[in-house]
Amino acid sequence: MNVIELERVSVRYRETKVRSLKEAAIRAVKGHAKADYFYALRDVSLAIHHGEAVGMIGANGAGKSTLLRVAAGIITPSLGVVVTRGTVAPVMELGTGFEAELSGRENIFFKGALLGCSRAYMRSRLDEIISFSGLEAFIDAPLRTYSTGMVARLAFAVATTIDAETILLDEILAVGDGAFKRQCKTRIEGFVARGSTVVLVSHELEAIESFCSRTIWVAKGEIAADGPSAEVIAKYKAQGS
Amino acid sequence: MIEHRSIAGQPLQWNVELRDIAHRSSLLYELVHRDLTVRYKRSFLGFFWTMLHPLLLMLIFLIVFSALFQTRTPHYETYFLSAYVAWNFFAQTIVNGMAGIAWNGPLMKRVRVPLSVFTVASTVSGLVNLALSLVVLFAIMAITGVPLRPALLFLPVSLTIVWIFTLGISLGLTAVSIFFGDIREMVQAGLPALMYLTPIIYPISVVPERFRWMIKLNPLVYLVEIVRDPIYYAIIPARMTLLIAVVTSLGSLIIGWMIFRYLAPRFHAHL
Ligand SMILES: Nc1ncnc2c1ncn2[C@@H]1O[C@H](COP(=O)(O)OP(=O)(O)OP(=O)(O)O)[C@@H](O)[C@H]1O
Ligand SMILES: [Mg+2]
């Protein structure tokens, strides 16, 4: 069974955005031609099978995060269809959707609610999340006082502790220290062993190669290569990136 | 296993949206809780500010206008406040809904949530504040010797109608203001004018007869009236007033939702 399917998906943005009514009125009067589109993703088709660990690599601005967002159903494609099956827990780059003024503990409930978990369920998982994140000492401090790595730890801990069928991880390793990376590796392996699906976006090719059997290389909004990690990464390196 | 489809060009479906909100049972609670606490976390008075703020405003209006209308309207405080709480709910909620975009935008880009839940949550937070203001109002009524009559039992019906109206306007305006940032300033500038066009601080009888029909084109006249009637006049609103209020609030919800459902799939480009 496929947990994620993309059929001819494009995500595009207008090159010049009209941000105010005033601007829109001026453009209407002056008779500007409609701005061209920039394609963050162009005609991408893709299927991710239940239980796969998939890596995703590519240059900055290639469209990896966009691909993850559209696959998670966070954004609607401009063209094409996306189907997801089962619960999807995305951990997007930077910020990761917490509330800065709330404490780490409150944020666990808040994030849980955003991911569709009840308070009672989150309470039953609270200790596990806190101990996995390794943030016991800071858990009642407001999130705005956390370092980037600490926020990433908390986000990862929440997303991987609730029993989601699919987890999407965007650059989560980049900010973590060695100990956290080892923990992540164990978790991800555990997930894959249990039959969950993991998609991992990273610039750390070794990590991708060791965690993921399959790798997708995204370049300029298109899939440049998709196959066994070693092969795709070798190709990617050969391109001089 | 839940299957989720996102199809290009397809607007939001109301049944999917409702299912998704219901499915995330604690989301609405968490959002309202956050609305009510975070906003005041860093302020000295904390949550009391929620109550104090409308109280202070009420006080100012009372001092300024009661001298003017006292002779015409007995118990002017109750007369004014019974309409003002409804107005304040409406105005605050639509402003907060639009302000919430900056706040919730990052969330909308990071988790898959039914996008309308943020607007719904801001109206619910508004209702909580409204309930607090009503407690204050009832206390004032008790002190000034205005009896609390059985007609008050009709109040939940009136407030539901006002809530539906506000939700509709808020959905529409929030969606449009994601595309055009200046809408928010325009609304904020327009709201005080709208308030003075609605018989809140003055009775409609002070408006010359030949202009009254113009005032009555404003749907807020009826929405304010159905809240004031059970509190101040201790009566159930007239059937015609109720009918107009119900029709405009349903119309507002339908139009607001239509705007929202078509614009929501393109929010992310502007967040
Ligand atoms: N709201 C938006 N409006 C216009 N362009 C956008 C918008 N969001 C993303 N883009 C563009 O889409 C492209 C792909 O962005 P994306 O975040 O997917 O890149 P990425 O592969 O994740 O890069 P990185 O490795 O730096 O994280 C970028 O060129 C970006 O400028
Ligand atoms: Mg990215």
List pLDDT tens digits, range A12-58: 998 877 888 888 888 888 877 677 889 999 999 999 999 899 999 99
Query: How many domains would you assign to chain B?
Result: 1
Task: Classify residue A233 as exposed, middle or buried by CB count within 10 Å of its CB (0-12, 13-18, 19+).
Answer: buried
Nearest CA to ligand 1 atom 28: A61
DSSP, collapsed to helix, strand or coil, labels residue B195 as helix
Chain B residue numbers with beta carbons less than 8 Å from the beta carbon of A63 are none
Q: Is residue B7 part of a domain?
A: no
Strand order of the sheet with strand A166-170? A88-91, A166-170, A197-201, A53-57, A214-219, A222-228
Give the pLDDT band (50/70/90) at residue A183.
Answer: confident
Q: Is residue B63 part of a domain?
A: yes
Q: Is residue B1 part of a domain?
A: no
Is ipTM beyond 0.85?
yes
* Share of residues in chain B with pLDDT > 70 (%): 94
Question: Among A58-62, A88-92, A219-223, whose mean pLDDT is lowest?
Answer: A88-92
Contact flag A165-B34 (C-beta cutoff 8 Å)? no
Task: Classify residue B257 as exposed, middle or buried by CB count within 10 Å of its CB (0-12, 13-18, 19+).
Answer: buried
Residues sharing a CB contact under 8 Å with residue B133, sequence separation 6 or more, in sequence order: B51, B54, B55, B58, B85, B88, B89
Among B3, B6, B12, B270, the residue to mutate for chain A (most A Cβ within 10 A): B6
Question: Among A116-130, A137-151, B61-75, B139-153, whose mean pLDDT is lowest?
Answer: B61-75
A74-94 mean pLDDT = 89
Give the pLDDT band (50/70/90) at residue B40.
Answer: low
Q: Is residue B8 part of a domain?
A: no
Which residue is it, tokens 């992540």?
A184
Q: Is residue B133 part of a domain?
A: yes
Q: Identify the helix (H) or strand (E) that includes residue A89.
A: strand A88-91
Can you read off the two tokens belonging to residue A120? 């009672």
A92-111 mean pLDDT = 84
Domain extent, residue B248, equals 14-265
Chain B residue numbers with beta carbons less than 8 Å from the beta carbon of A90 are 110-112
Which one-letter amino acid corresponds to residue B139? Answer: A
Q: Is residue B171 part of a domain?
A: yes
Contact flag A74-B110 (C-beta cutoff 8 Å)? yes
Ligand 1 atom closest to residue A64's alpha carbon, by position in its atom list: 21
Q: Is residue B271 part of a domain?
A: no
Question: Is the pLDDT reported for residue A241 higher than 60?
Answer: no
CB B157 within 8 A of CB B231: no
B243-271 mean pLDDT = 95
Residue among A38, A57, A66 whose CB has most ligand 1 atoms within 8 A, to mutate: A66
pLDDT single digits (tens) B8-23: 989 999 999 999 888 8
CB B94 within 8 A of CB B170: yes
Region of B171 on the Ramachandran plot (φ > 0 left; ψ -120 to 50 alpha; else beta): alpha
Can you read off the two tokens belonging to residue B82? 């019974």
Q: Is residue B131 part of a domain?
A: yes
Question: Is the pLDDT reported for residue B128 higher than 70?
Answer: yes
Can you read off the two tokens belonging to residue A7? 């059929």
Q: Where are the alpha helices (DSSP H) in chain A?
A: 21-30, 64-72, 104-114, 119-133, 148-161, 178-194, 205-211, 229-238
